[in-house]
Structure 1
Amino acid sequence: MSTATKARTGIIVGALGVVFGDIGTSPIYTVQTLFNPGDPHPVPITNANVYGVVSLIFWSVMTIVTLTYVTLVMRADNEGEGGVMALITLVRRLGSRSSPRVISALSALGILGAALFFGDSMITPAISVLSAVEGLKLVDPSLADWVVPITAVIIVGLFAVQKRGTAAVGRFFGPVMIVWFLVIAACGVRGIAAHPQIIKALSPTYALEFIFGHFHIAFFALAAVVLSVTGAEALYADMGHFGRKAITWGWLGLVLPALVLNYLGQGALLLGNKSVVNAPFFLLVPTGWELPMAILATAATVIASQAVITGAYSVASQAAQLGYLPRLRIAHTSASSIGQIYVPWINGMLMVAVLILVFAFRSSAALGYAYGMAVTGTITITTLLFLYIAHTRWRWPLWMVIVGGGALLTVDLMFLAANLTKLVHGAWLPLLIGVVTFTVLITWQRGSIVVSQAREKAEGPLQPFIDEINTHRPPYPRVPGTAVFLNREDETAPLSMRANVNYNHVVHERVLILSIVVPPVPRVSDEDRISVDDLGDPDDGIWYVKAQFGYMERVDVPSALRMVDPTLIGGSIDCTRASYFLSKIEPVSGNQPTMAPWRKRLFIATSLLAADSVGYFGLPGDQTVLIGSRIEV
């Protein structure tokens, strides 16, 4: 096997371990939830309904996952990165081709999709681990009372190890998930062998007959059928880590066949015995193998949860870089992979939320009612944004977008409408989480704009300030050393520098006014990292430096300064001896009609989550000076 082939195989194996964990564990609870007698709208157990449900699951997976995500949506990448945030940045780039209102509305939809993902990241660990541990009840019914405590212990352990990163265990994820998919495929084949007539469910006629012949049943069933496609968004979100080809090959080569075989096997089992409705997945397992299967299922669901948790870290990090959240404290857990990060505040919040869900719902079936709401909302929003990009960026004909896109959106909206019927049975939860998160995100963005405008007035224009320093009589004394003043842009003067000059009446021998710019791309090449401007006077010892970092990159000011060409700034920079000055802004509520009073309080409260600026910019603490300023919002 050639080196290139080994590398491609390794990427595919890695993708199997990270990307497909969520959708790969869906068979544990999907069919069980559909026929659960405790469901508000259960599907009656008849042969016709079994054929219809299995057919509906198969064609839902083919339409939403294979067609929408793998074939279409994954073509819309932002410098190789996927996910809702990537779609938002692509929409923003196309702003000149549409009205500002359309761009604002689509961006807001994208942010709502990202907000709903946080609801998904809370429910996935709870329902996945619960459903796996519930397999213990088949091993020994007396263990039923231990399902929730064991689940809680696993979840606490899962979140406790997050700070160590996934680099050490990541290489084991792929092989475990390969074993998982092979085992569930084998179990499915075992069920099909007993009742091979279930193969007929692959025909779309059974799904269509179930929908149109029993619409009053099928419509409500869609709220549970959507569980079979949960995790589809992970294929797109993790595209930047593994690439489109690896995910496509992994899906078509192993994951899709394994899932289809297992769903067919569960359907065959129900054809033979209607009483196994409470645990058709585990009852496919040969007698005596229930405990090993429960252990394997628990491992698979932990991996599935891991993928969603790290996805939440990535979404939070990207949201902060794009201005929808304050700068959060982020720890990079891998020296080789920039995507492996740990966000302590998000980790703690998720752990508490997941534990609350486990103790409140206590079963995977009960959580199933809540699960689909976040997923269908995100899928619908993703489809809408993709269709806009396809028409505006790729010039797809309008008729194609209306006809083809309309068909896809009809499917998505049917699933969304069906989940709305579960609103009082738990679907309100992810919707509430999404709305609250959305409100926080747009409030922070709005408050940041207000603060930026007020700060711009306080700072004043940069060039006149530099001219004033150069023409001041008598000249300001020059103190030895290099001073780096971090600033937002090249139009205004840094508040910290203005305060230093006005109150200390000195100027450093060499002054660098540094702006950190985050363009809407995941990464910036070293060639485009740094730009230098002498601000009109190359001899005054004052330069403006712009450093660009992609929204997937870690900001490191000293490393960026080492990349500055010494010939452009009068010599090399000794970052170990330079002085760094930061302007620390404290927002306070004012009387200006900028936002509703409750939003001002929310913005100020959210600002408390902001990471220490010194650590965020990678600055040495003993060389950094913070100069504070209060600004009314």
Structure 2
Amino acid sequence: MSKAHAKTSVPALTLGAIGVVYGDIGTSVLYSVKEVFNSGHVAFNVANIYGVLSLFVWTITIIVSLKYISLVLRADNKGEGGLIAMLALASSAVKHRPKLHAIIMTMGIFGTCLFYGDGVITPSISVLSAVEGLTVVSPRLHSVVIPATLTILFLLFFVQKFGTKGIGKLFGPVMVLWFLLIAGIGVYHIQHNVEILQAINPIYAYQFVMTNPTLAFIILGAVVLCVTGGEALYADMGHFGKKPIRIAWFSIVMPALLLNYFGQGAFLLANPDGKSNPFFLMIPDAMRIPMVVMATLATVIASQALISGAFSITKQAVQLGFLPRMRIVYTNVKEVGQIYIPAINWGLFIAIAFAVVMFKSSGALAAAYGIAVCTDMLITTILTFFVIRYAWKYPLLLCIAATSLFFVVDFLFWASNLLKLLKGGWFPLLLGGVMFVLMMTWRDGRNLVRIAHTTRQINLKNFLDDLFGSFTNKRLQIALESTQGKLEKLTQDIENAPLENIQELQNQQALLQEKILINQRCQVLFENIKKIKGIAVFMVSEVDIVPVALKQNLKHNKCLHEYNIFVTVNTLETPWVGLSKRSEVTYLGHNCWKVVLNFGFKNDPDVPDSLKHIQQFNFDFDPAKVSYFLSHEAVVASESIKGMALWREKLFAHMHRNAGTAAEFLKLPSNNVVEMGAKVEI
């Protein structure tokens, strides 16, 4: 167990895991069996009931118990789990293989984007399937199902801004009660048809598949619904630890799920007419309304866990440079992980409301559900292979042996779900595809901005040496004449150079032209610049380059502070970076320091607090008395400069204009921030 969990007891963490980790998979009993037998593909007979139940049992066993619990949970990134953590682990292990690194990054980002598609379908199908229990109580209530579902979902998203500090403590007890209830209902029906327990024998699944191979392949798309939410075991590992997640699964969750599925099978053997909604129809009349309420609470908790996951993944994506900065609200000052992101919150709600209105029933949503989940599961298996092979450095044959079964099973489920593409499977893929375009455009756009900055930049230390008078005016003139001579020679070389060398020579030419410009400016600055008391912190996007804000400040204000700190924020491919490894400090002379602040993708970047802990400064650093200078780029899409497709450049420019402020993201005091702008063409 990680140090983060050391102060919390295993029973408490186990209870918390039941409430957060297992909400999604725990509510799959509402619709999984129903969708298999209402798909129109499976003949309703005893042999098929046994065969389908056996498929459920072994799907849960192979995918959750063996794959996630036994293997994937081992692939933690310093205690953290989830696709982003695994992506960082796998990609950092293959940095020396550029092509493989690019493939892994693209695959991992796409899988992360599909989480948003899953984040739309899960609350929709879960809450809708629970509210549909009202139609079992009374068919006349069918007309209130959609309005009631939308109302519950709206209230769920509305209260997000208040956080889950208070009600979050109830999630565990409520879900424990839910699992006990579904297990009890299952046992109640099993006792009338004890022979249904024979379905635990894999021979029934084998016979079902061999007798109807095509049919079996088709219904895998519905069978996989019994493990939707299984990926949460890995995603939430950082919150609870491996041991509590494993204890919760084997002691409560898995037994309760299997007992309920066996109970539904026993109920169907005795009541063939109950296949329209076996979960609610198997409940005694007197308990149906309370169970509808209980199911609704359970699905709300499952949805809450997924919404919180969307906030967490978005924050990590922002810090890794895949999404623009967004407004992040911390709803609990004692728990850094409890956050609220308004843009994601209401974006999800709009998409979910649209899905509920468009699909109208949990049955229709089931067709859209599996494909995003199966794609994520398949990507997880592939990334796990790369982690075992390149991060853990196990032999190739052992890596194949460890993951091949899971790859085959995941691939079959994924391929089966492709059959549902036109029936609704396109919807989560579309949502994931939109997020993928946004993420890749933002990443590539930021890279183009970086190139635009660095191509014509001068080394920071050289600039400061010139600026502070390490050169006399005469020496500056000598340096200027020398640079001009080099530029003239280079210009002649370009005229006679082979075509393949021209681009490199032109880059050198641009650097020399910039250096001449800097030297010319320094000649003027040397005589006219004024030094003022105080501390200035300049935020620098790339280490060792002159920030735009510094040049603009010298140009317009013609002053420089007594102490100057040039700070670059660096997000590493690791979840957490402690204070001991936070800062890298280099003294540049002239009371100037270069500071690189390293953060993990789950850290909150707080620049003033990090600078406050640096011991190398020869002055008293008071964050409240510092002036913070930021460079603000006005990005303009250009057809003349080679980069992305023009529509992507325009999209990036729009995203850049609407991104959150760097000052807020870096926790800079707003009253002490000065932004200096410059236009950047990409």
TM-score (norm 1): 0.96
- Tell me the residue number matched to 1:276: 274
- Tell me the residue number matched to 1:572: 620
- Tell me the residue number matched to 1:359: 357
- Tell me the residue number matched to 1:27: 29
Distance 1:417 1:16 in 2: 31
Contact 2:582–2:610 under 8 Å retained in 1 = yes
Contact 1:530–1:563 under 8 Å retained in 2 = no
Shift, 1:458, TM fit? 4.8
Q: How does 1:347-426 map to 2 (within 5 A)?
A: 347-426=345-424
Distance change (3 Å), C-alpha of 1:394 and 1:13? same
Distance change (3 Å), C-alpha of 1:564 and 1:4? closer
Aligned match of 1:512 in 565, 576, 586?
565
- Tell me the residue number matched to 1:230: 228
Distance 2:14 2:363 in 1: 32
Aligned match of 1:595 in 633, 644, 655?
644
| 2:379 counterpart SS class | helix
Letter of the 1:579 counterpart: S
Contact 2:90–2:390 under 8 Å retained in 1 = no
Aligned match of 1:143 in 119, 122, 141?
141
Contact 2:562–2:591 under 8 Å retained in 1 = yes
Q: How does 1:176-187 map to 2 (within 5 A)?
A: 176-187=174-185
Runs of 4+ in 1 over 6 A off after TM superposition: 3-6
Shift, 1:96, TM fit? 4.4
Q: Deviations over 1:544-592 (max 9, x none)?
A: 1222221112122221122121xx2222112112111111112110121
Most deviating of 144-153 and 588-597: 588-597
| 1:513 counterpart SS class | strand
Distance 1:608 1:280 in 2: 52
Letter of the 1:369 counterpart: A
Distance change (3 Å), C-alpha of 1:497 and 1:417? same
Distance 1:600 1:475 in 2: 40
Letter of the 1:578 counterpart: V
RMSD: 1.5
- The reply on whether 1:51 has 2:101 as its aligned counterpart is no
Aligned match of 1:118 in 92, 116, 120?
116
Distance 1:622 1:549 in 2: 25
Contact 1:338–1:552 under 8 Å retained in 2 = no
- The reply on whether 1:610 has 2:659 as its aligned counterpart is yes
Distance 2:331 2:602 in 1: 14
Distance 2:288 2:28 in 1: 18
Q: How does 1:36-47 map to 2 (within 5 A)?
A: 36=38, 39=39, 41-47=40-46
Q: How does 1:138-177 map to 2 (within 5 A)?
A: 138-177=136-175
Larger radius of gyration: 2
Count of residues in Structure 1 that have an aligned counterpart in Structure 2: 622
Shift, 1:404, TM fit? 4.0
Most deviating of 401-410 and 442-451: 401-410
Q: Deviations over 1:484-536 (max 9, x none)?
A: 1111232211110121123222110111111111111111111112232112x
Distance 2:16 2:424 in 1: 34
Distance change (3 Å), C-alpha of 1:613 and 1:4? closer
Contact 2:634–2:657 under 8 Å retained in 1 = no
- Tell me the residue number matched to 1:335: 333
- Tell me the residue number matched to 2:18: 16
Distance 1:424 1:11 in 2: 42
Q: Which runs of 5+ in 1 are unaligned?
A: none
Letter of the 1:30 counterpart: S
Q: How does 1:549-568 map to 2 (within 5 A)?
A: 549-565=599-615, 568=616
Distance 1:459 1:342 in 2: 38
Q: Deviations over 1:579-609 (max 9, x none)?
A: 1111111211012121111211222232244
Contact 1:55–1:203 under 8 Å retained in 2 = yes
Q: How does 1:278-317 map to 2 (within 5 A)?
A: 278-317=276-315
Letter of the 2:94 counterpart: G
Letter of the 2:174 counterpart: V
- Tell me the residue number matched to 2:678: 629
Shift, 1:232, TM fit? 0.9
Letter of the 1:531 counterpart: E
Letter of the 1:574 counterpart: D
Q: Deviations over 1:121-162 (max 9, x none)?
A: 010000000000111112222111101100000000000011
Shift, 1:446, TM fit? 1.0
Q: Which runs of 5+ in 2 are unaligned?
A: 470-521
Distance 1:474 1:227 in 2: 74
Distance 2:427 2:8 in 1: 44
Shift, 1:260, TM fit? 0.5
Distance 2:620 2:7 in 1: 44
Shift, 1:6, TM fit? 7.2
- Tell me the residue number matched to 2:60: 61
Shift, 1:42, TM fit? 2.8
Distance 1:396 1:532 in 2: 37
Q: Deviations over 1:64-101 (max 9, x none)?
A: 1111111101111111111110111112211245x211
Contact 1:459–1:495 under 8 Å retained in 2 = no
Contact 1:484–1:514 under 8 Å retained in 2 = yes
| 1:515 counterpart SS class | strand
Most deviating of 254-263 and 462-471: 462-471
- Tell me the residue number matched to 2:490: none
Q: Deviations over 1:450-487 (max 9, x none)?
A: 11110223543211111122116337321111111111
Distance 2:178 2:415 in 1: 33
Q: Deviations over 1:406-437 (max 9, x none)?
A: 22111111101110001111011111122221
Distance 1:371 1:480 in 2: 62
Contact 2:160–2:340 under 8 Å retained in 1 = yes
- The reply on whether 1:493 has 2:550 as its aligned counterpart is no
Distance change (3 Å), C-alpha of 1:611 and 1:5? closer
| 1:583 counterpart SS class | strand
Letter of the 2:234 counterpart: Y
| 1:289 counterpart SS class | helix
Distance 1:200 1:581 in 2: 71
Most deviating of 460-469 and 249-258: 460-469
Q: How does 1:81-120 map to 2 (within 5 A)?
A: 81-96=80-95, 99-120=97-118
| 2:635 counterpart SS class | strand
Letter of the 2:559 counterpart: V
Contact 2:16–2:172 under 8 Å retained in 1 = yes
Letter of the 1:600 counterpart: E
Letter of the 2:566 counterpart: I
- Tell me the residue number matched to 1:7: 9
| 2:625 counterpart SS class | coil
Distance 1:575 1:324 in 2: 29
Contact 2:94–2:390 under 8 Å retained in 1 = no
